[in-house]
Copies of this chain bind each other. A is one copy, B any other.
Amino acid sequence: MQTTTSSGLRLYDYSASANCYKVRLLLAQLGRPYERVPVDIFAGKTLGDEYAAINPAREVPVLETEDGHFLPDSGAILVYLADSTPFMPADALGRADIVRWLVYEQTAVIPTMGGLRFRLQTDRLSLDDDGAIVRRQGAAAALGLLDDHLAAREFFAGGHYSVADIALYAYIHVAGEASIDLQPYANVSAWLERVRLQPGHMNDLEPYPPNARKGAGRSIYD
């Protein structure tokens, strides 16, 4: 996967992060080559000064643009790469609606489903811990809202597949890994299938590796 190309795009990436998978998926669907720079989060690679210069929040993904600008945040990267493409609505209201869903994903999906997948897969929580229960409740509230929104819509914003769908797909499609059953959410389930059927869809999201387990490495998540 690691190829240096003339495009000069470089993605600071972690294979088990669905935030990173969002960007890999969009880049694949855009057919844009890029250099993938794996960041071994749990080997402490985001803890030093070198990484702070790339992203002071010490998170992945970060996109290094062709002119050497470091752009953190999966949503911001999606907005940048999708500019003037069919993955971003052309009108002001459509673009604002994209931001609405990007923020919703980061504030209502990531802290619930995303956080729970990470903590269950890396032995930071067990299924019946309070921290797991409260995240499952939050996930159920978010999934209910999303399911209602999709009752009369095929995609989240602008009437067609967009980066809003890519952002929401990332952690929702692995809700099972967060002990969340999607069966009650028929509209969400049908939408996941529509996303999978988009041209150029691919999935290279991986499980967390052994060094991500609690106590096995060093990271900002200790």
Chain A positions near chain B (C-beta within 8 angstroms): 56-57, 65, 69, 71-73, 75-77, 79-80, 83-84, 92-93, 95-97, 99-100, 102-104, 106-108, 110, 145, 148-149
Residues of B near A77 (CB, < 8 A) are 96
Task: Give the residues in chain B near A103, CB-CB below 8 Å.
Answer: 73, 75-76, 102-103, 106
Q: 19 extra interchain contacts, Cβ-Cβ under 8 A, other than A80-B93, A106-B107? A: A57-B145, A71-B93, A71-B96, A72-B100, A73-B103, A75-B103, A76-B97, A76-B100, A77-B96, A79-B95, A79-B96, A80-B92, A80-B96, A83-B95, A83-B96, A84-B92, A103-B103, A103-B106, A106-B106
Number of copies of chain A assembled together: 2
Chain A interface, >50% SS class: helix
Q: Find chain B residues with CB under 8 A from A97 CB.
A: 71, 76
Listed by A's residue number, 24 A-B pairs whose Cβ atoms lie within 8 Å are A57-B145, A71-B93, A71-B96, A71-B97, A71-B100, A73-B99, A73-B100, A73-B104, A75-B100, A76-B100, A76-B103, A79-B95, A80-B93, A80-B95, A83-B92, A83-B95, A83-B96, A99-B99, A99-B102, A102-B103, A103-B103, A106-B107, A107-B107, A107-B110
